[in-house]
Chains A and B, each alone.
Chain A
Amino acid sequence: MAESGCCPPMDLFRSEPMQLVRLIIPVESSHLTVSYLGDLGFIQFKDLNAEKSPFQRTYATQIKRCGEMARKLRFFREQMKKVDVVPSTVPSERIDIDLDNLEVKLGELEAEMIEVNANNEKLQRSYNELLEYELILQKAGEFFYSAQSDAMAQQRETQERRTDEGSINSPLLLDQEMSTDSSKVVKLGFISGLVPRDKSMAFERILFRATRGNVLLKQGAVENPVTDPVLGEKVDKNVFVIFYSGERAKTKILKICEAFGANRYPFPDDLGKRGQMITEVSGSISELKATIDVGMLHRDSLLKNVSYHYEQWNLLVKKEKSIYHTLNMLSIDVTKKCLVAEGWSPIFASKQVQDALHRAALDSNSQVGSIFQVLHTRESPPTYFRTNKFNSAFQEIVDAYGVAKYQEANPGVYTIVTFPFLFAVMFGDWGHGICLLLGTLFFILREKKLSSQKLGDITEMTFGGRYVILLMSLFSIYTGLVYNEFFSVPFELFGRSAYACRGPSCSDSTTAGLIKVRDAYPFGVDPKWHGTRSELPFLNSLKMKMSILIGVAQMNLGIILSYFNAKFFKNSVNVWFQFVPQMLFLNCLFGYLSVLIIVKWCTGSKADLYHLMIYMFLSPTDDLGENQLFAGQKTLQIVLLLLALVAVPWMLLPKPFILKKQFQDRHQGQSYQLLQSADDSLEVDAHGSHDGHEEFEFSEVFVHQLIHTIEFVLGAVSNTASYLRLWALSLAHSELSTVFYEKVLLLAWGFNNVIILIVGIIVFICATVGVLLVMETLSAFLHALRLHWVEFQNKFYEGDGYKFHPFSFALMDEDDE
């Protein structure tokens, strides 16, 4: 492993070695130092002020300032969105603007912007009011006009009929005219205005109730939404004219209008004035329009100006904010001359970190350099893997279960191969594999373009796992070739089939009619098996045995990894009392089964392996009879069985007792050490780790070991059985694709009808893509995931570590997106 110098570094096998470092940074260079460390991105700072609330910390005011600037930038962003100015993504020439200048500049810009906006708003408001007024003049004019014509008609009618009954239809205007004619004193007033359409019903109702029906309300819908002067939004509105009598009614109506947000406008009585008003209003509308346009132009140029620098400023503010957040985590020295930082950093990066510290000290003209110290601690460091775009997705698969303990053997490395392989065992079809391959190649080839843009939820996920899918598809092409499946159609790719008909009469496609005429088919399953009556029994037996072989191999790998873990952490107890008995137990039972399977394949024996395994437990001394595969098998079986039986108490009993003894020894030793090296213990205490002082509860440890033993013994059986899912899913996949091929495509073909054929092809494609390519991929993926998480990783993986989150500007951007 790592200690051998011959091999290239194997970063992924174990997480990076980390160290706890303490940096003592002079105050004057602290900002620059943190900024350089952020560029470097190799230190995870510890919060040394956890007990202080955010606003009690040293740099709270600076953070507040940054927050304020961020708010201003958001304000500009919103403004830009309103007028569709896109912030230029191309960084303009790097102008070095520091925070203070930026703050002043942003303040000025915001003030200007607000003023411009306020002016524009005022203008816009009066503009909208005028527009509404114009609308009223037109619409209400129509009311009056139609009322007048009604009135004329009415008058004509009354003249004709010589009766003076006021019908309901007679307009009030007529009444008014008539009442003035007949010199009655009732004076009708009217109010006109606009009311939002959704409120108009309630408006009418309330008006009616408030005046006890003594009003006449005329409403007309305005076709296009009108911009409300107060809200500044487009609203559907109705023009209304209310006729009323009396002062009290008027005050009530005015109040109601106000309550409903109805804008009232004066409306001239006679026609001439109205025309004059209309021209006046439209004149001032065009005037205002010009003024507003000028204002808009000013605003746009202002925003354009901002948009050039927007991204740069935004980045700067974000960086500054994160720098001050980090500075807040550092503890300040009593003399207030230097800041003390503690954090985790990978050992390989210490040179770079020291370099950054040095540069920062130089660049900030600090008289004293920063001090870089490595601290010793018993705290468990964070787990850090240096992944690249290819293996990060596989590491994610492992991390989703649990982040590896510090320096624990990383299953991620093996997952890169085993995961796609187990997937492919379940998804064996080279046609489907090619479809997957094309899909993932699309993502990989357009990687540069796609990674810079925002994708949908599912696309994002697929894109993230593109290299996993690439390997999955390549492996499934391989297993597809082994299974000889191409959309369930067999091909004679590697030579001719080994079987041929005995005579011309064997058309019923059974093995009975076929004889072996050549050597065995060189690679994979012979195409002739396809469609025969014995296809299923043959493939089932093959795949079932293969699943067990794969499963036993992978579980053995897991147990072997536990050996490397034990060796790495120098835990010989685990080697002798966990690894050895576990190996023995698993291999005596299922390792033996695997051997039997291989022997049976090689010799072509007809022994019944179920029977063999079952009677190995039930009556080990019985004669094997026809199930005997090799000489001395009975003795071997008895020995294996005894070994497996011995392995169980071996796993269970010694370890707790040894742990107890070790604890007692250590405890005695420790009381000596405490006296001798008081300084060290103080140091340890200061970092809050009390691992050495934990209580040793024997019963707890014993129960724990008991549970582990039971779990392993039962797990050996159930996990092996669990690997049979490889067979089951592979069977399901091939059967489904057979069904779609035969019952849809061939059936449609048989009709000799173009339309049915087209429909059949469409159904076939939909079923293949929807069920086989999408759902089956998902289910095979999930089962492969389970086999890794449960059956493989429970043999060795603790997964109780925590991830390394360095302070890094590059990561900060990702978080924000």
Chain B
Amino acid sequence: MYGFEALTFNIHGGYLEAIVRGHRSGLLTAADYNNLCQCETLEDIKMHLSATEYGPYLQNEPSPLHTTTIVEKCTLKLVDEYKHMLCQATEPLSTFLEYITYGHMIDNVVLIVTGTLHERDVNELLEKCHPLGMFDSIASLAVAQNMRELYRLVLVDTPLAPYFSECITSEDLDDMNIEIMRNTLYKAYLEDFYKFCKKLGGATAEIMSDLLAFEADRRAVNITINSIGTELTRDDRRKLYSNFGLLYPYGHEELAVCEDIDQVRAAMEKYPPYQSIFAKISYGESQMLDKAFYEEEVKRLCLAFEQQFHFAVFFAYVRLREQEIRNLMWISECVAQNQKSRVHDSVVFIF
């Protein structure tokens, strides 16, 4: 499986790998989080962050801060770093980097479509979109009335077009359909990304297939839990699972017929890696599952940095940074709403 990619990797990828490892060392540490959790006001958070790499992004913010500003500026930093790396990247790394953003693109499309369905202002929606998943004609999504139009009008120009072929129906857009669309798109995206990574071969394929398999399995569990008690049929549910991952295919069969959370648990506990996740949460509880999954994901992402000469570090870095921004958002929200006792509920330490 290992070729001689280590010999030639540095010709094109060495500079960027160094850059991304440098960025990684700028991630907040447990000590930073401990300090942040003790903050009394958002000003304190700003003060603490100004001593980190976020400093230049926050220093020019006038005083009454809002959580959204903090999150926005932190995201801006990620976007700047990502864009810099994308500018410097050559094939196939540039394609790989672009693949990382498709997930956000799907989320943005869904956000805009749902928003217009509920008659929200387009500009307001655009502000809420993740900047990594922006494309030129995203605003014109609002024009579309049904999936076919959505595809024909806008998405045909985007990289998402091939993923859409599976879910073109002329049904009107409603909440349920959009959610199904999101999951179908995600499934197609993950499978495509998986195939692409396999094609790259070497350590990239090895590590990325592990990370993507985890992602696919997590989505499968989430889809199952979210679809319990809805009118989604078992077959339809089965169709939304990605066709790879640890659970594929037998785990999917079991998940497809689950009717409550404990059945999901029973199905998942057959797989040792997930057993430990489910062991952390008590029976009948699904609230903490997200955090448990995030923690496991962060652990796996950190491990990606243990090997050299592969692309998975870029994926891992972007994901870790996103997790960090989620953490910051949670901390800031807790601080802003005086709910400091709940600060630790959802913060996932990275180091």
Contacts and interface: CB of A to CB of B under 8 A. Distances in A.
Interface of A: 53-56, 60, 63-64, 67-68, 71, 74-75, 199, 202, 205-206, 209-210, 252, 255-256, 258-260
A55 B143 contact: no
Contact of B44 (A55, A75, A209): A55
A199 B153 CA distance: 15
Nearest to B62: A71
A256 B40 contact: no
A259 B59 contact: no
Contacts of B80: none
Contacts of B153: 206, 209-210
A260 B139 CA distance: 7
A256 B143 contact: yes
Contact of A202 (B38, B50, B137): B137
Interface string B22-56: 00000000000001001110011001101100000
Interface string B145-169: 0000000111001000000000000
A182 B230 CA distance: 59
B301 to A, nearest CB: 27
A259 B50 contact: no
Nearest to B59: A71
Given A55-B39, A60-B47, A259-B122, 15 more contacts: A54-B47, A54-B51, A55-B43, A55-B48, A56-B38, A67-B50, A68-B63, A74-B59, A75-B60, A206-B153, A209-B152, A209-B153, A259-B137, A259-B139, A259-B141
Contacts of B122: 255, 258-259
B7 to A, nearest CB: 30
Nearest to A251: B143
Contact of B136 (A74, A199, A210): A199
A206 B43 contact: no
Given A55-B39, A75-B60, A209-B152, A67 B140 contact: no
Contacts of B48: 53-55
Contact of B143 (A60, A64, A205, A252): A252
Contacts of B140: 206, 210, 255-256, 259-260
Contacts of A75: 60
Nearest to A257: B140
A255 B123 CA distance: 11
Interface residues of B, number: 28
Nearest to A261: B139
Contacts of A209: 152-153
B142 A74 contact: no
Nearest to B139: A259
Nearest to B141: A259
Contacts of A53: 35, 38, 48
Nearest to A65: B63
Nearest to A254: B143
B69 to A, nearest CB: 13
A255 B139 CA distance: 9
Interface in B47-84: 47-48, 50-51, 59-63
Contact of A67 (B39, B47, B136, B142): B47
B35 A258 contact: no
B160 to A, nearest CB: 16
A56 B39 CA distance: 9
7 contacts: A54-B51, A55-B43, A55-B47, A64-B47, A209-B152, A210-B153, A259-B139
A71 B51 contact: no
Q: Which of A68, A206, A259 has the most CB of B within 10 A?
A: A259
A252 B144 CA distance: 9
Contacts of A260: 137, 139-140
A570 B137 CA distance: 79
A74 B47 contact: no
B64 to A, nearest CB: 11
A63 B48 CA distance: 12
A55 B48 CA distance: 7
A202 B158 CA distance: 12
A472 B142 CA distance: 72
Interface of B: 35, 38-40, 43-44, 47-48, 50-51, 59-63, 122, 136-143, 152-154, 157
A55 B137 CA distance: 45
Nearest to B140: A259
Contact of A74 (B38, B60, B137): B60
Contacts of A55: 39-40, 43-44, 47-48
A71 B39 CA distance: 21
A206 B154 CA distance: 7
A255 B40 contact: no
Contacts of B139: 258-260
The 7 closest A-B pairs by CB, nearest first: A259-B139, A53-B35, A55-B44, A259-B140, A255-B143, A209-B153, A55-B47
Contacts of A64: 43, 47
B278 to A, nearest CB: 36
Nearest to B138: A259
A255 B122 CA distance: 9
A202 B143 contact: no
Contacts of B61: 71
A206 B137 contact: yes
A202 B157 CA distance: 9
A259 B143 contact: yes
A410 to B, nearest CB: 35
Contacts of A54: 35, 47-48, 51
A67 B46 CA distance: 11
A256 B153 CA distance: 11
B33 to A, nearest CB: 11
A245 B207 CA distance: 56
A574 B140 CA distance: 82
Contacts of A258: 122, 139
Given A53-B38, A55-B40, A258-B122, A210 B47 contact: no
Given A54-B51, A255-B142, A259-B143, A67 B59 contact: yes
A63 B47 contact: yes
A209 B155 CA distance: 12
Q: Which of A53, A74, A206 has the most CB of B within 10 A?
A: A53
A60 B139 CA distance: 44
Contacts of B152: 209
Contacts of A205: 157
B168 to A, nearest CB: 15
Contacts of A256: 140, 143
A252 B149 CA distance: 12
Contacts of A210: 140, 143, 153
Contacts of A202: 136-137, 157
Nearest to A201: B136
B326 to A, nearest CB: 22
Nearest to B34: A53
B142 to A, nearest CB: 6
A68 B141 CA distance: 41
Contacts of B39: 55
Nearest to B152: A209
A260 B154 CA distance: 12
Nearest to A70: B59
A67 B62 CA distance: 10
A4 B6 CA distance: 63
A6 to B, nearest CB: 52
Contacts of A67: 47, 50, 59
B2 to A, nearest CB: 38
Contacts of A74: 59-60
Contacts of B50: 67
A256 B140 CA distance: 6
Given A206-B137, A206-B154, A210-B153, A259 B142 contact: yes
A281 B326 CA distance: 50
A261 to B, nearest CB: 8
A676 to B, nearest CB: 42
A598 B325 CA distance: 73
A281 B153 CA distance: 37
Nearest to B112: A259
A72 to B, nearest CB: 9
